[in-house]
Each structure stands twice: as C-alpha cells, then as structure tokens.
Structure 1
Amino acid sequence: MRALVFASVLLAGSPLAAEDDFDQRVIEAILNNPEVVLLAIQRLEAERELAATEVERRQIAEVADQLFGDDPEIRLVEFFDYRCGYCAQSASQMQTLPHELTKGVRLFEFPILGQESTDIAKVSIAVRNVEGDNAYQRFHYAVFDAAGRVGDTASAIRLAASLGYDADAIAGEAQSNDVAAEILRNQRLAATLGIRGTPTFVGRDQIYDGLLNPEELVEILDTEKDES
C-alpha cells in the first residue's frame, strides 16, 4: 500500500503528469475561446496564400521573356482552347472592352480538348504567320463567333478564306514544323506555370485561373499597366 501511494505521488510530480495537465488546460482554453481556432485557421490560410503567390511570381519571372517578349504593352497572357466553352465566353467579353486595354493581352493557343482543338490551333497560328497579327485577331474572334461550326482543319481554312485570306498558303503553313513547335512551346510553358485548364490568364506577377468577367479584366489590366 505504501508503495502504491509513493508511486502515485511520484507520477503526479512527474514531467508526464505536468504535460497531461498542460494539454488539458490548452483544450479547456480552446473550448472556452473557440474563436481562437478560427483566427489560427485564417492566419494559416493567409500564410499559405502568400507562399503560393511568391511561388507564382518566381515561376512567371522564369519565363517572362517567353510570355511577354520585349513589348511593355503586353500585360496579360491568355492560354485558351478553341473548343472550350469558357474560352468562347472570354472571347465574347474581350470584344466588349476598349482596344486600348485588349491590345495589352497576348493569346497563347493551348489545345487540350482533343485533336480538333490542335487542328484549329494550327490553322490559327498559320493565319498569323501568313497574314499578320491583325488578321490573326480577326480570325481568333471569328472562330468563337462561329459557335462550334469550326471544328476541324477544313472548316478552319474555309473560315480563313471567307475572311479574304490566302487559304492555300495557310493550309501549307498549318502543317509546318514551325507551327507544331509553337504549340509544343506553349504546352511546355503551361506545364512550367502549372496551368492545366482553360482559360487561364497570366499577369506580370500573378496567375488567374478560369473565366474572368469584363470588370475583373479591366481592373487587372489597369493594375498591371500601373505596375509595369
């Protein structure tokens, strides 16, 4: 009996008992002040968001030359797929914005929705290579305005011809190694930035996933312009 009492006294005064007592007091404090848990979670989320933002900035900085080139007017890059419904909405919204803003957006073909997407992307790049940037932009919006009627190489070339462009030259260019290499470069860029879906927008220091409405685009472009 004396041994049992002695052992109990030793245990009560042991570091293990003190640790158990501390844990119990912590639990009681949390139960009595549950808002502390919410504050801790909010702080953790804020720290994670800050860390993710820093990672994005480093990723963008690594490939900034490929994204924006040497043109300071380019402030936002859009990775898109011609068969993506949200990209179609994005194109429609872009056409409502002033040219002063949209000229700061650079388009990157990122065909991820099958062979048809790749075929249209190749014709699109070929239009730019053969006819120039203004023709490319016109063709780009015309594909989306066609609302799904452009779904393969042949229909894309017919659309280009209807816009007055050299269909034969575009058809040949669409099958060139240069066009294929550009799509591959875009895919590698997307992988470097962790982009897996469309549309995705990349600013000078931030990545924006998914569809943005016109108000968000104006705000982002104005912010990017101020910071450039």
Structure 2
Amino acid sequence: MKTQNLSKNFKSLAIGVVLLTGVSLSAQQTTGDVVKQADVDPGTTTTAGAVRVIDNKGTIKYLQAKNGLTLLSNTTNDVTTTTWQLGGTLTDDTLIDVDGNVFGLNGIELISTETASTDATTESDAGTGSGYTLLVRDEATGALKKLLATDLIQSGQEAFTATADQTAYALTGSPILPSYSQVWVYRNGAKLVANVDYTVAASTVTLVENDYSVYGGDVIEVQYTK
C-alpha cells in the first residue's frame, strides 16, 4: 500500500518537473536550430524563458518566450496555466500578415482637446515629449512610423511688395509648393486665376500678365496648403 502511494506521488512529482522545464521556440525564427533559453522559475516574471509541456498523446512540446512576449508562471497546483503577454523589446523584425482578415484594436481613446506634439523625437519611449503624433505605415517596408501632425497638413502665407513688371516671387525658406490648385495668389487683394494668371514651380510663383500689368508697389500675396 505504501509502495503504491509512493509510486503515485513520484509520478505526480515527475509530471510537475516536466511541466516546469523546457527548451525554446523562437518567434520569427525560420532557419537554423533554436537555442534553448533558461528554465522559468515558478512564481517569477521574465521576458525570456522555456517551459516544457506534454500533450494528451504524451508528446513532449515546448513553449518559449521571445520577441517581446512576457512569460508568466505561478506557484499554485495549476502549473499548466501559462499566460503570454505582449511587451518588452523586439529582437527581430516582426510582421503580421492579416491575409485578408480584419485586424483592429478596440478601446482606443478618442482625443478632442489634446494638442499636436512639438517636441517629439525619433524612437522615443512613452513619457518622453508631449502632445500627440500620427501613426503611419511605410508602404515600402511595412514599418510603422510616427508623423508630426504639422507635417501631415502644412500651410503658409507670404506677401511681397512688387517692383515694376516683377513676375517671379520666391517664397522665403524655399518650401516646395503643391499643385497650383492648392496655391492662392492675390494682387492688391484681388484673387488671380490659378494656372491662368499665375503658375507654380518648386517654391516660386510666377505671374502671367493677362490683361493686367504689375506696377511698383503692388502687393502680391501667396497662400498655400499641402
């Protein structure tokens, strides 16, 4: 009778040991042998570790945290429960292919009073800087990047006092102007007709004297958005 109880206890202990040991499965690794990471100690939180599990056919399989997954283990009898939690630092490039399925996020806060960031820096961590930036996707690489709100829509205005017969007006700072439909030019407060009374190239507006002439002292105003 004691021998049977001892045998049962030994089997239970062996299964528990098996569940708490293991080798690695590395996220995004597609070639080469997987390097085993250190065994996870019960009751600890780690950004990298290995746990060995056994399926219902008795086959030994492995779970290993890597690439920003946090592996959690517990000290209760329910040692087969392992939680995988996003976080940490990526060690390899990671892409998710939705393959035509919807990928979305719920619970996103709607902002209405926050201001756009003026002090955002590249690759900054949370808590650095203020305001908000916009999340954009690089179509060439698929990489997610951030963009200043002021870089998404830009606008400008500059006024010039013309000399006699002056037709070319180069904007200060050499901003690259958009197409003429997004550039508005006024002569002494009267709007000129786009692509008829003026043309746009790079950062310069050139007047075309159709039924009018430029006189010295005329005020030429240029407004634009892009």
The two structures have a TM-score, normalised by structure 2, of: 0.25
- In terms of fraction of residues, the more helix-rich structure is 1
